[in-house]
Amino acid sequence: MMRRTLENRNAQTKQLQTAVSNVEKHFGELCQIFAAYVRKTARLRDKADLLVNEINAYAATETPHLKLGLMNFADEFAKLQDYRQAEVERLEAKVVEPLKAYGTIVKMKRDDLKATFTARNREAKQLTQLERTRQRNPSDRHVISQAETELQRAAMDASRTSRHLEETINNFERQKMKDIKVFRNSLYAPDYSSRLDIVRANSKSPLQRSLSAKCVSGTGQVSTCRLRKDQQADDDEDEELDVTEEENFLK
């Protein structure tokens, strides 16, 4: 009966170990990908700022009417970058940093699991020793009583670590659910979509459409080539940074 109880407890502990391992794996991946997304968004914001500066520089050389149109477009385009900056800051503070913290949290839970497995193994060892003592020396009450006492101590220690593990894992699961909801809600600031739609609507001017048409015909291929080279350089940089993010999570 006691051995069956031990087996049931071990099965439960292994399930908890699997849950912690899943969080370690998937939260680590999420942290790495979110961090890469934030970096790419920040670089896109920087490129857009350069574009705004160049449009304003060009506008200064044009006639008053075209100059006004160019500057209005640059102003609306710059507003989009304000939202992109807000997205970068929000994701970094509300998603990436909390995900990084799970590296330490998971390590603590693994320590708790290790302590529980150690206590369970000690209890199982004392139970085996008691059973062997009863078989070899069934009439030696002193030795049997001593083995029973050792088993009782091991069982109490295992019970204590099990209760602590259950409590800490329950808290871990509640915190995980709470954080996941925070991650989801933090992706967008209040009224983000409605305000962004307004900016987009105001940005759809004839000038914007004419500039887009010029990009497609003539200089479009050169711009695409340059963007691809920049993207390749960014991807190479991300590969190096992603390794660092993963190492930081696992520390």
Write the pLDDT tens digit of every residue in 39-55.
Answer: 999 999 999 999 999 99
User: Is the pTM here over 0.85, yes or no?
Assistant: no
pLDDT band for position 244 (cuts 50, 70, 90): low
d(CA 10, CA 6): 6
The residue to which tokens 């190492």 are assigned: 247
CATH class of the domain comprising 30-190: mainly alpha
From the centroid of its chain, how far is CA 16?
20
pLDDT band for position 218 (cuts 50, 70, 90): very low
DSSP 218: T
CA atoms within 13 A on the CB side of 202: 15
CA atoms within 13 A on the CB side of 10: 14
Listed residue (198, 181, 189, 179) closest to 89, CA to CA: 189
Domain ranges of the chain: 30-190
